[in-house]
Amino acid sequence: MLNKSNNNAPMTLLQVTNISKKFGDFYANDNLNLSIETGKVHALLGENGAGKSTLVKMMYGALQPTSGSIFWQGQETLIASPAHARELGIGMVFQHFSLFEALTVAENISLALPVQLRQGDLSQRIADLSLDYGLPLNPAALVADLSVGERQRIEIVRCLLQQPKLLIMDEPTAVLTPQEAQALFSTLRRLVEEGCAVLYISHRLEEVKQICHDATILRHGKLVAEVDPKVETAATLAQLMVGSSVHQVSRNTNGEIGEVLLSLSHLYQSSSAPFGVDLVDVNLQVKSGEILAIAGVAGNGQGELFSVISGEERNPQQHFISLLGQVSDGLNINQRRLLGAAFVPEERMGHGAVEHLSLTDNILLSRHACNDTESPLDRGWFGIDRRQLAQLNKAISINYDVRKSREDDVAGSLSGGNLQKFVVGRELNRKPKVLVINQPTWGVDAGAAALIRQAVIDLSRQGSAILIISQDLDEIFELADTIAVISRGQLSPSYAASELSREKIGLMMAGSHEQTAQAAGA
């Protein structure tokens, strides 16, 4: 249990005054002022690229301000490094996890703890604290075998073991199911009752209204508003963030449902991970002009399903997968791209993009073997067409509002939301006949989410077959023509979106369709 404050009255814990941060001639933060009080959840809102990540990195010692001051508990302080921030009592859960997949939960946590906190039975302390705060973890589990939601618990528990006074959370529910998000909110409420302060960065505005006491809104690096989120609407918060009304997604019906372009027939696939989820008798069809969305609680086989469809996991002896009329079980991912398919994985950093490579090189990674452009990028003896790569980078950046400090920045320099727009835009730019996309708008703001969702709908109405895997029910109902649910590796039948309610999907997430399948086979 964290140390409980003896004084229930809120006190200013961290204050930034006139903070600015320049990268070359670009102001990521411009003369910002912000105060964070104990016993409160304070929201930091803004579009992708508004300056939120830069600001919190200065609070955490990962960046130093160009000008301005930071006060910690009333004293002006130079936060020299993340290690120094943790010594002061500042913990941070980043949007992109910093975990070693080959190590266990306990080993990952131990690596980030000071020597004095590694003493004794660390595994038992992890198990006890994680259970106490409603974030249960098995200290002996390999990270590689955990769902994204479980991996986030590791990051949170790692912070809590150091008894932080201020916990900074960057898009904490972007990878959580609604049930996991509510459990996290209970944890945060307990933390603030114990005197901790929480700085909460999120694009999910309804949850900001639910959990946050104060909200500071940034736009283009400047502070534009400080409001009480509970008296605002999600629409007014979004408008403050983007400076105008957010585009409403239009589900036009100009397209027609055509032939089957992606099908799985009685697919069985054993997981290659020791604690993964096996796929059991999976059947689905996605037709031209159709968006099929798969809902489900994290860790129920979504990753395995994506890997099988994309060709990252193959079984050449099977004949269960068909892409554009061709048996594809034995084809690798590039061969499937050559057929006209495109794939967007859940984890954008490391899986969807290589952190240290430039954006143009990241385009090349998924485009070099494709034959869907009039001018191929690989010109054989003449090498790679760098001019065309630069043009693609510019087009993607303009069409999907990818904000960056340089024209051809490295992928790791982009904010999470901007990298998501880039990775999704890179694949949509090809206008593939089949698109499989896992968590389309993870961690992006309301304006960017609307842009991506509209682009997905428009692509389907042009005749493409689109398969979406998502944990966001709002997103699913906004996008899907048909919906199926995955639970413990079993996929339900597909239903017209109009036939399903949230309650029915909830029952299916709990496995009601598994019982139906078992009864049918009895």
Band (471; pLDDT cuts 50, 70, 90):
confident
The answer to whether 44 and 18 have CB atoms below 8 angstroms apart is no
pTM for the whole structure: 0.70
**pLDDT (tens digit per residue) in 234-244:** 889 988 988 87
pLDDT band at 203 (very low <50, low <70, confident <90, very high): confident
Which has the higher per-residue pLDDT, 404 or 253?
404
Rg (CA), the chain: 23
Beta-bridged to residue 341, according to DSSP, are 434
Beta bridge partners, 69, equal: 17
Amino acid 490: pLDDT: 94
Per-residue pLDDT at 522 exceeds 50? no
What backbone torsions phi and psi does residue 219 show, to the nearest 5 degrees? -145, 120
Beta strands in 296-354 (DSSP E): 321-323, 326-327, 341-344
Q: What is the DSSP string of 340-389?
A: TEEEE-S-TBTTTB-TTSBHHHHHHHHHTT---SSS-SB-GGG-B-HHHH
**What's the CA gap between 213 and 147, in Å, rounded?**
30
Query: Distance of alpha carbon 191 from its chain centroid, rounded?
Result: 24
pLDDT-derived band at 521 (thresholds 50, 70, 90) equals very low
Q: Which residues contact 480 (CB under 8 A, 6 or more apart)?
A: 291, 292, 293, 468, 497
Average pLDDT, the chain: 87
Residue 223 token pair: 């502070």
CA distances, 31 to each of 199, 214, 222 (Å)? 19, 20, 7
Q: Which domains does the chain have, with CATH numbers?
A: 12-89+163-242 (3.40.50.300), 247-337+432-522 (3.40.50.300), 341-429 (no CATH)
* Sole residue written with tokens 């997905």: 456
Pairing of strands 341-344, 90-93: unpaired
Express as a percent the part of the chain with pLDDT over 70.
Answer: 90
Predicted confidence at residue 79, as pLDDT, reads: 96
Report the distance separating Cα 229 and Cα 215, nearest Å. 6
Answer yes or no: is pLDDT of 95 > 80: no
pLDDT-derived band at 77, boundaries 50, 70, 90 = very high
463: left (phi over 0), alpha (psi -120 to 50) or beta: left
Pairing of β 260-269 and β 482-487: unpaired
Q: In the structure, what pLDDT confidence band is assigned to residue 520 with cuts at 50, 70 and 90?
A: very low
Q: At what angle do helices 446-461 and 416-428 cross, to 10 degrees?
A: 10
The helix or strand, by DSSP H or E, that contains position 64, with its residue range, turns out to be none
Instruction: Give me the pLDDT at residue 363, please.
Output: 92
CA distance 257 to 155: 44
Q: Please write the tens of the pLDDT for every residue from 287-340.
A: 999 999 999 877 789 999 999 999 999 887 788 999 999 999 999 999 999 999
Residue 74 corresponds to which tokens in the numbers above?
A: 């009333």
Average pLDDT over residues 492-499: 93
